Structure 1
């Protein structure tokens, strides 16, 4: 009996996972993640990722210009490189327009070079890609690896891809069963020593941040591959290429001035748990609400402002 029709039917019935990122479609983190998804043999894998490094673009989108999409050869996956941001790629990839009506069951954004803990979530294109899918009702995971310059290697990204597959599979089971919650998406950070991680841990977004300063520069050094400096918290071993086009221009480069922490946040905070060796799993939402304790303050301010306005009006 010819098993080809059965095989084709099984492939069509497999849950669909779409991968995007912000480091670009050629980044090893994305390629290793796709390799692991394909090797698992349980998913139909799509890729819609930026055609070049788009790190640190947060949730920005291209509004007026059309996006260029080019097929890319990635074994056992249907892949496109797109001239847009991670949010653009996620939006286009889930629209049904790019993949002939196919809409993914799950969107994965990563694997990013460098952690995306704490306030870094605001800057992260990796998180932006996952958030965009979430906004349109598609379950999504942002995945990052805590790269440390002079210590981490590209092979660590392969290990990072391996260790997050069980979590991805578990999420897919929940999606299939209709029990996966719709009110959040997940931000996953994998520790530097991924092979010896201490397990998965549900965490809260903290206030960690690599504070950025500026230095004026007048020199030029060869650029390194973008994936090695793709995150603001990665200490780059070399400077990116800098070259003023005229003597009237000044050159400034970003530098890490300091790292800030909130030591009283507790043991379930993302960055602390990551540094303790856990794979952190942080549920995120799309709303940027202020802390509840500031609401009375602002209400009082507006009340005083209203009284001032009324007093000024009555004196006219």
Structure 2
């Protein structure tokens, strides 16, 4: 990996957060690559552990204080926080933990892609969106992890593949040219070492369709990735138990039943073709034009 030393006074500050927890290999990889590039001051403010309640989306903590614990990550100033990705982004940009506000926020690298409608569920994207709310340029990064084909080293390869984009954005920030009207969602393909380059895409409509199956145990088997996005063919297992469920309540487990097809010119399609997809996102999801037209004509009669 190319390393270009930049004088400390000229370095931009990048804050890293994520959804998988501060010890996750994706976060460790992107921090390691940013530090070793010698171009940035690196801050880390991330959840203290991976939350088993997947797909936290843009949830924030209101009813109790957050705990922030200083942790050691070589070359970075780091805190582990008992909160969500959005909590971490907000706290890290508030100047109560770090003496300076970061110039750029990177959320990830997530274990599993974040494309299509699954962006709505993503805590990784929420970390970047929260920074966007604070007026700070931001990127969410995800790697399309596939069980049996991917390995931990792929996170480092993904971080190295994304470094040129991060460096280019940093250069635009220095020149005050980088717009703050949106943020970026980047997905890296499974075969990252042979990726086909960078492709600007749009958010698609793909979503994995989930069903429900009644189970007899509250002990659930199988490992879910950190977002809702997973291979449709991956089984979601349930561990049976000798104990029976009380007659007073029922237990149900999610299971994959299929996937809605995506647009051919959207993020997930290009990701599966081997591109690193770069998708601009905004805070709001505008309604479809035909729906707006329908409501405009319908509302006066309905009321």
Same fold (TM over 0.5): yes
Matched, 1:72 2:71: yes
What is the CA distance between 1:10 and its match in structure 2? 3.4
What is the CA distance between 1:40 and its match in structure 2? 0.4
In 1, Cα distance between equivalents of 2:242 and 2:225? 21
In 2, Cα distance between equivalents of 1:299 and 1:107? 39
In 2, Cα distance between equivalents of 1:164 and 1:50? 22
Alignment equivalent of 1:284, drawn from 278, 281, 285: 281
Taking the TM superposition and a 5 Å limit, the aligned residue runs for 1:31-110 are 31-54=28-51, 55-100=54-99, 102-110=100-108
Q: Which residue of 2 aligns with 1:116?
A: 114
The worse-fitting range, judged by mean Cα deviation, of 115-124 and 210-219 is 210-219
Computing the radius of gyration over CA atoms, which structure comes out larger, 1 or 2? 1
Q: Which residue of 2 aligns with 1:271?
A: 268
What is the CA distance between 1:129 and its match in structure 2? 0.5
Alignment equivalent of 1:215, drawn from 210, 213, 216: 213
Q: What is the SS of the residue equivalent to 2:7? A: helix
TM score, norm. by length of structure 2? 0.90
Q: Which residue of 2 aligns with 1:174?
A: 172
Q: Which residue of 1 aligns with 2:291?
A: 294
Taking the TM superposition and a 5 Å limit, the aligned residue runs for 1:217-232 are 217-218=215-216, 220=219, 229-232=225-228
Q: Which residue of 2 aligns with 1:22?
A: 19
Give the conservation status (yes or no) of the 8 Å contact 1:216–1:252: yes
Unaligned runs of 5+ in 1: 1-6, 307-316
Q: What is the SS of the residue equivalent to 2:116? A: coil
Give the conservation status (yes or no) of the 8 Å contact 1:18–1:45: yes
Q: What is the SS of the residue equivalent to 1:119? A: helix
The worse-fitting range, judged by mean Cα deviation, of 295-304 and 184-193 is 295-304
Alignment equivalent of 1:141, drawn from 121, 139, 142: 139
Aligned residue pairs, count: 292
After TM superposition, which residue ranges in structure 1, 4 or more long, deviate above 4 angstroms?
219-224, 235-246
Q: What is the SS of the residue equivalent to 2:295? A: helix
Unaligned runs of 5+ in 2: none
CA pair 104-218 structure 1, distance change in 2 beyond 3 A:
same
CA pair 82-259 structure 1, distance change in 2 beyond 3 A:
same
Q: What is the SS of the residue equivalent to 1:130? A: helix
Q: Which residue of 2 aligns with 1:161?
A: 159
Give the conservation status (yes or no) of the 8 Å contact 1:149–1:237: no
Deviations 1:268-297 (A, max 9, x none): x10111011000000000012101221121
Give the conservation status (yes or no) of the 8 Å contact 2:215–2:253: yes
Matched, 1:127 2:125: yes
The worse-fitting range, judged by mean Cα deviation, of 34-43 and 45-54 is 45-54
